[in-house]
Copies of this chain bind each other. A is one copy, B any other.
Amino acid sequence: MTNHGLTIADAAARTGLTVHTLRYYERDGLLLGVSRAESGHRRYTEHDLDWIDLISKLRATGMPIREIRRYAEAVRNGAGNERERLELLAAHRERVRRNLAEAMEHLAAIDRKIDYHTGAIATCEGPDTALSEPRRAAAADRR
């Protein structure tokens, strides 16, 4: 049938996924009907790649396979569920936003710890470093 389009190796190179992962995604219902050559080999279109890029972004922002499958099913079911799809994406967006905000707070806390310790080391390595100084830094690690 469709004897043109990209092979699975090409698609892997273009999307950054492995051929294994591409097949796994398809088996798991994450893709929207990749066509085949007469030989039975997969042939990927640019549309397929766009879709794969989208679900890669969803994955990279933490959406579980399960939920991507639900989304893909909704899309495959055709029209009439745009609202449902949108809600899925919007719900994910909110989760990601919260996670991002939380991660940024954690990062700030880690930053503060690094700054504190950088200061402590500077003190240790200053001109008049005492033998007891390293213990202070070690104790501070437990703060």
Residues of A within 8 A of B (CB): 32, 47, 50-51, 54, 57-58, 60-61, 75, 78-80, 82-83, 85-86, 89-90, 92-93, 96-97, 100, 102-104, 106-107, 109-111, 113-114, 117-118, 120-121, 124, 134-135, 137-138, 141-143
- Contacts known (A103-B100, A120-B82); A50 close to B89, Cβ less than 8 A: no
For A47, the chain B residues whose CB sits under 8 A away are 142-143
The reply to whether B118 and A86 contact each other, CB–CB distance below 8 Å, is: yes
How often does this chain occur in the complex, in copies?
2
B96 touching A137, Cβ below 8 Å: no
Contact between A117 and B61, CB atoms less than 8 A apart: no
- The majority secondary structure among interface residues of chain A is helix
- CB neighbours (8 Å) of A114 from chain B are 86, 89-90, 93
Q: How near does chain B come to A60, taking the closest CB pair, in angstroms?
A: 5
A37 to B87, CA, bound (A): 52
Query: What residues on B are CB-neighbors of A93 within 8 Å?
Result: 107, 110-111, 114
Residues A86 and B121 in contact, CB atoms below 8 Å apart:
yes
Q: 7 closest Cβ contacts across the A-B interface?
A: A79-B134, A57-B106, A79-B138, A47-B142, A61-B106, A75-B141, A82-B137
Bound form: Cα–Cα A82–B113 in Å = 12
